[in-house]
Amino acid sequence: MKKLILLLFTLSFALCTFSQEKGWQKGYIVNNGIDTIEGFIRTNNLTGFYKIQFKKQLIDRYTVYESKDLKSYTVGENCYKSILIPEEITGVKNYVLTKQLSGDDIRLYFSKYKYFSCPCEPEGAVNEGYIVIKNDSITIINKKSFSEKIRNPLDLIDLLKDKDGSWINTSFNELKFADIPLFIKEYNVKK
């Protein structure tokens, strides 16, 4: 009987420990006070670009941090930065947590973000795309309208206010949405 009770206790302890860890990843946040706090982070695919859950220890209760409350957070190799998207760009002024893909002369991030608010969608519609920052100027290349705006790589260079496209890899005959990270990486290397 003692063995059975010990076995049940061990199994229930393991089950509780596993369920507490589910979805939590080791990482750290940098809050607006520039404090770096290590702990565990959980995001949600639907809201992960606007808020995260954080706790210092797995046994602690979590705290919800919104994108406006953070400078950045890191989980594993992935760094996410909070960026203010001006109202002029999307019609809705908001902070989003963006996954940093590259940085140098041009910094490239990926995010989901809200754009325009209307009576039919008071919370704003959600889109996803790349956020390109050059000299503190923000350009959004969204997935939904990408094909209408940029196909020729020289158009992207014009968008980035760069005149010389002589460095462009000849494999970029027609630019696809998925090519943007490689294109920006080459731009940063060859510029």
Q: Around Cβ 19, how many Cβ atoms within 10 Å?
A: 9
Question: Which pLDDT value is given to residue 177?
Answer: 77
Question: Which pLDDT value is given to residue 69?
Answer: 92
CA distance 13 to 3: 15
This prediction's pTM: 0.69
Query: What is the pLDDT tens value at each position of the chain, 191 positions in all?
Result: 555 555 444 554 444 444 345 789 999 999 998 899 999 999 876 566 788 999 999 999 999 999 899 999 999 888 999 988 877 776 767 888 888 888 777 788 887 766 555 455 555 566 677 888 877 777 777 777 665 445 555 566 665 555 455 556 556 566 777 878 887 887 777 76
Domains and CATH numbers, the chain: 23-76 (2.30.30)
Question: Which pLDDT value is given to residue 86?
Answer: 78
Question: Which pLDDT value is given to residue 100?
Answer: 86
Question: Which pLDDT value is given to residue 70?
Answer: 93
Half-sphere exposure of 82 (CA within 13 A, CB side): 19
Nearest to 60 by CA among 41, 79, 76, 78: 41
Question: Which pLDDT value is given to residue 16?
Answer: 42
Contacts 24+ apart (CB under 8 A), 158-163: 160/106, 160/132, 160/134, 160/187, 161/134, 161/137, 162/187, 162/191
Question: Which pLDDT value is given to residue 1?
Answer: 57
